[in-house]
Amino acid sequence: MYRPLHDGWTLTAVSDEVDIAGIPATVPGCVHTDLLAAGLIDDPYLDDNENRLTWIGRTTWSYATSFTWHASGDGSGGDDEIDLVCDGLDTVATVVLNGAEVASTANMHRSYRFPVRHLLREGENSLQVRFGSPYSYIDERRAELGDRPGSYDEPYQFIRKMACNFGWDWGPTLVTSGIWRRIGLHSWSGARLASVRPVVTLDGRDGRVQAHVTVERAAGGRPAAPLVVTASVAGVTAEARLAPGERAAVLELSVPEPGLWWPRGYGEQPMYPLTVGLGPEAPEQDTGENRDTWTRDIGFRSLRLDRADDAFAIVVNDVPVFVKGANWIPDDCFPTRITPERLAQRLGQACEANLNLLRIWGGGLYESTEFYDRCDRLGLMVWQDFPFACAAYPEEEPFASEVEAEARDNIVRLAPHPSLVLWNGNNENVEGFADWGWREKLDGRTWGAGFYYDLLPRLVADLDPARPYWAGSPYSGAPDLPPNDPSRGTVHIWDVWNREDYLRYGEYRPRFVAEFGFQGPPAYATLRRALGDDPLTPDSPGVRHHQKAIEGNAKLLRGLGDHLPAPETFDDWHYWTQLNQARAMTFGIERFRSLAPYCMGTIMWQLNDCWPVVSWAAIDGDARRKPLWYALRRVYADRLITFQDGGVVLVNDRDAEWTGELSVTRLALTGEPLAKGAFQVTVPARGTLPVRFPATLATAGDPTSEVLTARLGEEAALRFFAEDPQVAFPEAEFDVAAEPVPGGVRVTVTARTLVRDLALFPDRLDPAAEVDDMLVTLLPGATATFLVRAPGELDPAALTRHPVLRCVNEAAR
């Protein structure tokens, strides 16, 4: 029986400098959220409040509660064993029960189980969890082991804790402490299921399950009894007998022709409950002891990593899958605020943008079970980094044992999930050692190689042999190879954001791009909620504080390059930098998709934000979709026409061929056809087809006043021959009508001239309003319809005016 201990907690600062004692605390939770609820701190996400809260991470905190316990009579006592189960302690914790120290811990990423029956008292019991300062712990470990280089000043590599708590180039420095996952008492008798680890594979068309079961027997004086372990799935059952003293069994089940689990876009996601039971050998001896049950849903699919000829391709059910992915960071600096409803919204937004994979980035967490459950059902593949990022990590004790314990814990926990397709050793640490000058700074000290090349692959091979392991990203497949080589394995591309024009993506020919991105500001309503700046400008104090990247605002302006004019107002800056972000990522993804199957995936940086910030995200910190999100939905669609190398490449990510007539027209900006071409094409299923154009189509007579269009069936694309500031755009003329409809307003725009990248920003009128499409270019005579949804009434006329309705050529420039 499990009894949660989530009630009656109080929080106290163990400090002479901080006068906070006995305030109500929420468990699961953390110090920051408790102080915020008590009105003792300002919201760290607003303005520069973050700067005034650094003391929290340098303070020792005590959580305390009391509970009643009786040896018999309430259903929770009278058992052989009672364990205190802590699913998540953040991070440097001492657990004290009735004045006796139970244990000390120092790892946010693992769970703990402590036998405590001998410490429990009849009646009232006291429980305290004291959290030491993470910074004090870090200082002690660093002094013992010697410094290690990293990408940031904060030494997060000296503690097993969510690294981005210590700030990142998109996140605040908010160093948390607290009981961040469940805590409770587990009472049991005789024996219990200590762990169940299913290895799920395919044998031809049949599903195969190896259920590795470990049993813990009570330590009492009674003789151990024979036990029976059963496993059942899809109507198939297996059984194993455990003699007295035996603690482990492997049960094998063969399921005839189950429905196969596929990534989204490739098939369905049937799931099957796998149930493992523990009981006495003789049913007539069943007294309620020795009984335990474990149930999880599993999916049948084969999985491998194709590395032939230095490729990097995820193959599911013998079908290579082109990855249309995004990197995932913790969705909040305070993970207990991430509700199931919020996860459903965020993962739904990922699916609506046509993603099929999320990479759980190594500076964050092993996510909640709810996260992986939802990915299983949505068909969203998960690439799981082990939590190491952008730093050299010590391999000495206590870290070696902690890393092994957390890896074992989470590999077993996540093994049932079919959505999990890859374990990755770290983020950018191999590259840091090879290319960022770490080797010289380390002077022979450890940096994590023993984890990435030895410990972690051994654990994955032992505990999760049906899934591939990759030592890091970027990585070329061997420790002695240049790690960020586009021609091998996985590559990260950051020269574009940091110093190059985004057209530089076109010079790359990668096998798999696991990280690349381009910044843009969040939605206007998100900035306005978070910042008190008046006026709001690109360089106002709050905007500067919510831009964490080095020279971030300067890079935003440099990134406009020749693509868009220099902004003169905040509204222009906001629209154009958001637009440029969408265009940059569209250009890169189209380039990489056009190279399939040589390139077999893109994982853009990043899907989400953890707070209101100028960043690389497609969904901002208030859950609003930036223009980039709409661009991702288009560029990750199953079928795509992309202009490449004097023609187009047709990309078909469906199981059926794509056939028809490709119609190509070179037009004057006025809409007058200048040249036409038609090509009969057949694009193979899950394939690409390049189509080269004759010079009459591919070359403009006047690059400043012409546009090229291509259409195949319902898919269309257009390309200008010059950058926007050089194009002789007419001043945009269009007819616009806005009419109320159930749930919102329908806005219809009919172009009388060419209209470039039409966008609606209804959050400027109502923070809860959103639009169904964005960044639509209309040729003369074309019509676009937008549906704006809002919980309240919107002024239809306001939706038709600047700065809510925008386009690039709203005035001749």
**Does 777 have pLDDT greater than 70?**
yes
Q: Which amino acid is at 247?
A: R
Q: Which amino acid is at 672?
A: E
- When pLDDT is averaged across residues 609-626 and rounded to a whole number, the result is 98
DSSP H helices in 305-416: 340-352, 369-378, 399-414
**Does 75 have pLDDT greater than 50?**
no
Task: Please report the pLDDT score of residue 224 as a whole number.
Answer: 79
- When pLDDT is averaged across residues 167-188 and rounded to a whole number, the result is 98
Q: Give the Cα-Cα-Cα angle 338, 406, 8 (nearest 5 degrees).
A: 50
User: Percent of the chain having pLDDT more than 70?
Assistant: 98
Query: What is the sign, positive or negative, of the torsion defined by CA atoms of 99, 103, 106, 110?
Result: negative
State the number of CA atoms in the 13 A half-sphere of 599 facing the CB.
24
**Does 115 have pLDDT greater than 70?**
yes
| Cα dihedral: 110, 116, 120, 126 (round 10) | -30
Task: Please report the pLDDT score of residue 812 as a whole number.
Answer: 47
On whether the CB atoms of residues 645 and 688 are closer than 8 A, the answer is: no
- When pLDDT is averaged across residues 82-92 and rounded to a whole number, the result is 98
pLDDT for 419-477, tens place per residue? 999 999 999 999 999 999 999 999 999 999 999 999 999 999 999 999 999 999 999 99
pLDDT for 634-661, tens place per residue? 999 999 999 999 999 999 999 999 999 9
User: Of the candidates 718, 608, 576, 579, which has an alpha carbon nearest to the alpha carbon of residue 349?
Assistant: 608
Domains of the chain: 2-186 (2.60.120.260), 190-289+291-298 (2.60.40.10), 318-632 (3.20.20.80), 642-726 (2.60.40.10), 734-806 (2.60.40)
Q: Which amino acid is at 757?
A: D
Task: Please report the pLDDT score of residue 219 as a whole number.
Answer: 84
| Nearest-angstrom CA–CA distance, 625 and 774 | 10
**Does 329 have pLDDT greater than 60?**
yes
Q: Which residues pair with 648 in a beta bridge?
A: 643, 691
| Nearest-angstrom CA–CA distance, 585 and 518 | 7
pLDDT for 218-238, tens place per residue? 987 567 789 999 999 999 999
> Strand ranges (DSSP E) for 386-517?
420-424, 469-470, 491-493, 513-516
pTM (global) more than 0.85:
yes
| Nearest-angstrom CA–CA distance, 173 and 797 | 42
Residue 37 has phi, psi (to 5 degrees) of -65, -30
Question: What does pLDDT average to over the chain?
Answer: 96
| Nearest-angstrom CA–CA distance, 561 and 556 | 9
Residue 284 confidence class, pLDDT cut points 50, 70, 90 = low
Top-confidence residue, 219 or 266: 266
**Does 381 have pLDDT greater than 70?**
yes
| Nearest-angstrom CA–CA distance, 750 and 738 | 12
Per-position DSSP letters for 33-74, written without gaps between them: HHHHHTTSS--TTSTTGGGGGGGGGGSEEEEEEEEEE-SSSS
- When pLDDT is averaged across residues 680-689 and rounded to a whole number, the result is 98
Helices (H) and strands (E) in the chain, counts: 16, 44
Here the tokens at position 761 are: 């920003």
Give, in order, the Cα–Cα distances in Å from 571 to each of 69, 803, 805. 62, 7, 11
Q: Which residues of 574-586 are buried (b: 16+ CB within 10 A; e: fewer)?
A: bbbbbbbbbbbbb
Task: Please report the pLDDT score of residue 221 as a whole number.
Answer: 57
User: Of the candidates 309, 405, 371, 546, which has an alpha carbon nearest to the alpha carbon of residue 103?
Assistant: 405
State the number of CA atoms in the 13 A half-sphere of 808 facing the CB.
27
**Does 288 have pLDDT greater than 70?**
no
**Does 71 have pLDDT greater than 90?**
no
On whether the CB atoms of residues 477 and 500 are closer than 8 A, the answer is: no
| Nearest-angstrom CA–CA distance, 478 and 481 | 6
**Does 557 have pLDDT greater than 60?**
yes
- When pLDDT is averaged across residues 3-23 and rounded to a whole number, the result is 97
- When pLDDT is averaged across residues 181-191 and rounded to a whole number, the result is 95
Instruction: Name the 3-class secondary structure at 660.
Output: strand
